């Protein structure tokens, strides 16, 4: 059933205008404020774990309740609704198109303004050249695609809807006016939560891109805990090989725009590779 839900949500992601009505986060803000006040005396780790974990516990309880009943229809509806909620927010591909339009006409200030809402740039970061802007956007595209889809469906398939929801709630808590202490703690948790899915995505990059170079890099980075966005940038650079835009090239601006389109195509191919993997695993169950 999980595979069918993933396929349906993938079709929705590719073909339906965003945002979806299910992706409303007002409840989470209200819940975090009320629960935060009630749990203020608890250590930060316990407080965040309860705030993000209790809704997931409710989903797990509903999953257990619905599993044997009514031919699995309520369970299917529950899993579909949770996965639609848990995937990333906004139509980042449309914003990427607007960014590329500004980039290609040489309006780098407009390109930066289009990139800020989707790639969460540090407002204090100094970006003085188009090359610096491109490097940040390339890194942002890769991590955004990973956290929007790949990490979510990985945990959904292997642990269930509660795990996909827990991952999304952590990401939302990280970005919605949390304290610096809470953000640092969530980032440490995400290092462990994202370790395995990012390496499976790197393997998909190798299969759908330049296999030899990417697979060699994948093996070299199999251990350790480098930042996920940096690791994805290394994987993608090897997977695309000669497609990487070179700063010293006289056609850098043109090549950089083409590189982002190729990254988007690599991500789409890798998503299909994951669907094939899930289908094979489903056949072996």
- CA–CA gap between residue 136 and residue 157 (Å, rounded): 31
Write b or e for each residue in 50-73: b if 16 or more Cβ atoms lie within 10 A of its Cβ, otherwise e.
Answer: ebbbebbeebbebbeebeeeeeee
pLDDT tens readout for residues 45-74: 899 999 999 999 999 999 999 887 777 789
Contact yes or no for 133/127 (Cβ under 8 A): yes
- 244 or 189, higher pLDDT: 189
> In percent, how much of the chain has pLDDT > 70?
91
| Confidence check: pLDDT of 202 > 70 | yes
Could you give the maximum distance between any two Cα atoms of the chain, in Å?
64
Percentage of the residues of the chain whose pLDDT score is greater than 90:
50
pTM reported for the whole predicted model: 0.92
Q: How confident is the model at residue 19 (pLDDT cuts 50, 70, 90)?
A: very low
Domain span at 12: 2-284
Structural domain count of the chain? 1
């Amino acid at each position: 059933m999980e595979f069918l839900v993933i396929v349906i949500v993938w079709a929705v992601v590719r073909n339906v205008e965003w945002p979806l009505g299910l992706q409303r986060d007002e409840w989470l803000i209200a819940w975090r404020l009320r629960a935060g006040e009630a749990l203020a005396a608890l250590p930060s780790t316990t407080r965040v774990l309860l705030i993000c974990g209790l809704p997931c516990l409710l989903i797990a309880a509903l999953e257990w309740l619905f599993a044997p009943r009514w031919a699995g229809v309520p369970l299917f509806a529950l899993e579909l609704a949770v996965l639609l909620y848990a995937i990333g927010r906004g139509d980042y591909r449309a914003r990427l198109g607007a960014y590329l339009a500004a980039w290609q006409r040489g309006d780098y200030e407009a390109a930066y303004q289009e990139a800020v809402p989707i790639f969460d740039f540090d407002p204090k970061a100094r970006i003085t050249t188009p090359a610096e802007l491109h490097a940040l956007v390339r890194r942002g595209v890769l991590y955004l695609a990973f956290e929007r889809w790949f990490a979510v469906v990985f945990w959904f398939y292997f642990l269930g809807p509660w795990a996909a929801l827990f991952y999304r709630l952590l990401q939302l808590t990280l970005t919605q006016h949390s304290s610096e202490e809470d953000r640092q703690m969530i980032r440490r948790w995400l290092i462990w939560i994202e370790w395995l899915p990012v390496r499976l995505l790197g393997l998909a990059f190798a299969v759908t891109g330049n296999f030899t170079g990417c697979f060699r890099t994948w093996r070299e980075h199999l251990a350790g805990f480098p930042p996920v966005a940096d690791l994805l940038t290394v994987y993608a650079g090897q997977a695309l090989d000669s497609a990487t835009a070179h700063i010293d090239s006289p056609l850098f601006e043109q090549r950089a725009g083409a590189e982002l389109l190729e990254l988007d195509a690599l991500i789409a191919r890798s998503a299909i590779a994951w669907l094939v993997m899930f289908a094979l695993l489903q056949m072996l169950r």
